Amino acid sequence: MQNILAAINAEQPKKIILDTDAYNEIDDQFAIAYAMRSPEKIELLSINAAPFLNSRSTSAGDGMEKSYNEIFNIMRLTDPSAKIPVYRGSDRFLENKQTPVESEAADNIINTVMAADEPVYVVAIGAITNVASAIIKCPEITKKMIVVWLGGHALHWPNTREFNLKQDVAAAQIVFDSKVPLAVIPCMGVCNFLSTTVPELEYYLGGKNDLCDYLVKIVAGYTKNPYAWSKVIWDVSAIALLTLPGALEKVIIPTPVLTNDCYFAEDKARHPYIYVRHLNRDKIFADLFTKLAK
């Protein structure tokens, strides 16, 4: 795992597949644009749409389809000439740990990883159904890819009933148990420090370009009561791990056991993973705002 950590910290660009529930709220949009605006650090091979189910969708499949469309919207605003392949993902969550959900996205992960002559980073910022389905279908990919996931809460948190994780616990268990090289950025306790406000976004991004105006607009429209309100832009942390690795404090520890009721159980004999335990909010936002405002 030390060599994986060294690879993450290295300066050379990483080949990534971004797996995103882009319409779930308003942070995936920042992450997609951040990845596209970081060509010196990231070679964005493709983008997968991930499923989600909340008040912005009528089913996991509807959430995936809305995310698929939103990916194209952000790509157009970021770079109308971009030719990045986009794939539809799972239309439902896993029913068990033996049966994959068939999708273009799962096949894209398998085909891309197996054809690559260097490790591919699969950066997941939603429910991890597409990644788990790919692992079920082709376990060999675990030896040729590195998974970066924004999911769960910090190990000291009372539980890990975080949105990305609790939607598809079986998928998360598959990834944690698979021994794939894995880096996890927890939400509460770590990533929640990536908070911003509408006035801050208006100051740094407002009027800079159509992309920035859209991002400010969707954040401002996310609440009915903006007074003294802030919003965590969760998903940019997963991109920052590769674009600005020094801004995230990482340790190698045994992978926890994820229980069916969303708790982490400690087992010191388990295989290792990379756990992000702290991030520098100011450095990440400075890099993000600078790149988006170009």
CATH number at residue 52: 3.90.245.10
User: Helix axis angle, 236-243 relative to 27-36, nearest 10°?
Assistant: 20
Token representation of residue 110:
């398998």
Q: Which tokens belong to 9? A: 């910290």
Q: Considering only CA atoms, which of 276, 280, 279, 258 is closest in space to residue 267?
A: 258
Positive or negative CA dihedral for 109, 106, 45, 50?
negative
pLDDT given at position 156? 97
- Residues 9-43 have pLDDT tens digits of 999 999 999 999 999 999 999 999 999 999 999 99
CA gap 131, 195 in Å, rounded: 28
- pLDDT by residue (tens digit) across 227-277? 999 999 999 999 999 999 999 999 999 999 999 999 999 999 999 999 999
The boundaries of the domain holding residue 73 are: 2-292
Q: How many domains does one find in the chain? A: 1
Segments of the chain assigned E as strands: 14-20, 42-49, 86-87, 120-124, 145-150, 182-185, 195-196, 231-232, 248-254, 257-258, 264-265, 272-279
Structure tokens given for 256: 């926890």
Give dist(CA 126, CA 142) in Å, integer.
Answer: 19
At residue 63 the predicted structure's pLDDT band, cuts being 50, 70 and 90, is very high
DSSP annotation string for 189-203: TTGGG-EE-HHHHHH
Q: How far apart are CA 242 and CA 275, in angstroms?
A: 14
CB 291 within 8 A of CB 37: yes
| Averaged pLDDT score across all residues of the chain | 98
Which residues have C-beta within 8 Å of that of residue 227, sequence separation ≥ 6?
A: none
Look up residue 283 and give its DSSP letter: H
Please give the C-alpha separations between residue 5 and each of 83, 148, 242, in angstroms, as whole numbers.
Answer: 30, 12, 11
Packing angle between helix 27-36 and helix 60-78, nearest 10 degrees?
A: 40
Q: How many residues are present in the chain?
A: 294
Contacts of 228 by beta carbon, 8 Å cutoff, 6+ apart:
none
Q: Are 164 and 128 in contact (CB under 8 A)?
A: yes
Q: Which of 135, 117, 242 is nearest to 180 (CA)?
A: 135
Q: What one-character DSSP code corresponds to residue 228?
A: T
DSSP calls for 123-152:
EE-S--HHHHHHHHH-GGGGGTEEEEEE-S
Distance CA(281)–CA(262), nearest Å, equals 27
Q: What's the pLDDT tens digit per position in 113-157?
A: 999 999 999 999 999 999 999 999 999 999 999 999 999 999 999
d(CA 36, CA 6): 23
pLDDT class for 226, splitting at 50, 70, 90? confident
CA-based nearest residue to 50, from 110, 109, 121: 109
